[in-house]
Structure 1
Amino acid sequence: MKFNGTDAYVATPDMAVAVNAAIRLERPLLVKGEPGTGKTELARQIAGSLGLELIEWNVKSTTRAAQGLYEYDAVSRLRDSQLGDPRVGDVANYIRRGPLWRAFTAGEKVVLLIDEIDKADIEFPNDLLQELDRMEFFVYETGETVRARTRPIVVITSNNEKELPDAFLRRCFFHYIRFPDQETLARIVSVHFPGIKPALIRAALTQFFEIRETPGLRKKPSTSEVLDWLKLLLADDLAPEDLRRDPSEALPRLHGALLKNEQDVHLFERLAFIARGRRS
């Protein structure tokens, strides 16, 4: 069982090493990186490459760790008891299985994605330590212990919005997805847009990296955003020469795909104003 990327996902050598090391160690793979660098997609591609089912747990600010195990619907049970429903005699009818329970009891190995763990409360990772370490948990309402039949491949993503506890980090294999260099990004573009002209890729990525490396930029455009931008360039049938931008021009073509807040738009407008002033 080895991951080397897929036809739809360019995995760098260090990424492939990290994924395969986590699989061999049977440790959760903690993946960090800028938003839009393909952290969530990595879990999906691991599942697809290895022919495994993917179970996703999308974490929100209100998510509690216990929801990953199960939820007991006491309200529905009370309502059914008032209506004389015979199901109330078995509390198991009111247990909703969470993604960890489904992953633990799957008939074969699965990939479990815990997406954006840093969105939740700071205690959220600590509350999952024992379950992810021992691969089991106790259901108080039914008195049963749920144990993993086959240890799932666990992928945990984080956008670094919060620091994760040391005790949690110690149990994970860590990988940081660095922003790809121009050559790697060109390979990623070619995967998503087969047949795109190399000249257009060169012109677009040259301008993209100029934008991304502009001093003072509040939010740097990501991999997903350059793919959106290229999709629009192709839809408008633009040629490489159409992308050449004079410094005195305020904004790049279709800038809304790359610049996502008014501060960065104003930054480019100011830079263009300064360039026009130097010319006059």
Structure 2
Amino acid sequence: MTWQPFYSGTGGAPRERVELAPPPPWRVFPRPSLHERFVPPPGLVEAVNAALLLRRPLLLTGPAGSGKSTVIEQVAAELELGPVLRWHITSRSGLSEALYRYDALGRIHAQRLEGAGGGDDIAPFLRMGPLGTALLPSPRPRALLVDEIDKSDLDLPSDLLDVLERGEFEIPELARYGRDVVAVREWGGDARHEVTRGRVQCTEFPFIVMTSNGERDFPAAFLRRCIRFTMPMPTPETLLRVVAAHLGADAAGSEAAGELVGAFVERLAGGESLAVDQLLNAVHLLTGDGAPEGERRQAVVDLLLRELSRV
């Protein structure tokens, strides 16, 4: 792009209205899927196919910004698995909320409003979670992203073992409900699926990608049930392919892009923590006509490629 400062720091209104430049492709909203621009590193294709054929979750480990979360979007698009279900893990995430959500207080409130002669429909107060939706019976596997599983508490990986091994779970509130069949809303939409006697049993095991930044260890029993792949250190050739996929061949072939990629790889080899999207930001701003030069260019480089472990 052409570097053009919009903010001058004077505080005065411009004579003419300032129109911002178009955003980079990865900052367009609503956010489009970037699966067509993702360049899988060597070995990842084999890992994905092994997970698909063995019906095992794929555990991807690598630094932030290495494209781990985009892998499942590319697989889902190529195999037509439908929209990707997403479960973003925090320290408070638990298995039960991933399987289903039950609004007990809402149901009690509705019962009080209805009175003694009112109905008692449990369906409006139940909703499948992302993992529960992935395990619903379906003619084709669903795609589920379990993002940043290393952020979970210590027990969650072990809690997942039985569900991932058996591909089924029970909703106790439905198991003891008066009707055998209840239509429950799926995660991420208003579609409903009939659950019989509170039992959910998958017919096609979902394609599950779990991502980790490598910040913790996992139990051996959990690891042996996964296909594991560590995102490799990117090479200059791989990074230039990524730049070309996002910004075009002209940007990737420029001298400025080559210099930025070379310096980026050297810093990674030196042990610094950097993300590929930082490199894309730098290439986007520092290539093309009107890009800043000299001290100004270096100031932008230092700003955009700041080491992630530094505050």
TM-score category (smaller protein): 0.7 to 0.9
Superposed displacement of residue 263, structure 1: 4.7
Whether 2:256 is the aligned partner of 1:200: answer yes
TM-score of the aligned structures, taking structure 1 as reference length? 0.81
The correspondence for 1:135, drawn from 148, 159, 167, is 167
Mapped partners of 2:118, 2:285: distance in 1? 55
Change (3 A) 1:226 1:139: same
Listed one character per residue, the Cα deviations across residues 134-184 of structure 1 (whole Å, up to 9, x for unaligned) are 110011111121011321111111112221111111100000001211111
Change (3 A) 1:77 1:262: closer
Query: 2:125 corresponds to which residue?
Result: 94
Mapped partners of 1:121, 1:174: distance in 2? 20
Q: Give the letter for the 1:92 counterpart.
A: A
Whether 2:231 is the aligned partner of 1:177: answer yes
* Counterpart secondary structure, 2:38: coil
Q: Give the letter for the 2:168 counterpart.
A: E
Change (3 A) 1:8 1:153: same
Count of matched residue pairs: 251
Whether 2:276 is the aligned partner of 1:223: answer yes
Query: 2:64 corresponds to which residue?
Result: 35
Gaps of 5+ in 1: 265-280
Q: Give the letter for the 2:41 counterpart.
A: T
Whether 2:285 is the aligned partner of 1:232: answer yes
| Equivalent residue runs for 1:1-280 within 5 Å | 7-53=36-82, 54-84=84-114, 89-105=120-136, 107=138, 108-143=140-175, 144-194=198-248, 195-196=250-251, 197-214=253-270, 217=272, 220-234=273-287, 237-238=290-291, 242=293, 253-260=300-307, 263=310
Mapped partners of 1:167, 1:90: distance in 2? 40
Superposed displacement of residue 35, structure 1: 1.1
* 8 Å Cα contact 1:72-1:96 kept in structure 2: yes
Gaps of 5+ in 2: 1-33, 176-197
* 8 Å Cα contact 1:109-1:150 kept in structure 2: yes
TM-score of the aligned structures, taking structure 2 as reference length? 0.73
Superposed displacement of residue 236, structure 1: 6.7
* Counterpart secondary structure, 1:203: helix
Mapped partners of 1:262, 1:65: distance in 2? 31
Mapped partners of 1:141, 1:168: distance in 2? 28
User: CA RMSD, aligned part only?
Assistant: 2.7
Change (3 A) 1:94 1:262: closer
Mapped partners of 1:159, 1:133: distance in 2? 24
Mapped partners of 2:74, 2:297: distance in 1? 39
Mapped partners of 1:124, 1:103: distance in 2? 18
Q: Greater relative contact order: 1 or 2 (C-alpha under 8 angstroms, separation 6 or more)?
A: 2
Between Structure 1 and Structure 2, the one with more helix by share is 1
Mapped partners of 1:260, 1:236: distance in 2? 27
Q: Give the letter for the 2:94 counterpart.
A: R
Listed one character per residue, the Cα deviations across residues 17-61 of structure 1 (whole Å, up to 9, x for unaligned) are 000011011100010011110111111111122222211111112
Query: 1:273 corresponds to which residue?
Result: none
Mapped partners of 1:222, 1:11: distance in 2? 16
Q: Give the letter for the 1:171 counterpart.
A: R
Superposed displacement of residue 207, structure 1: 2.3
Quote the sequence identity (%).
32
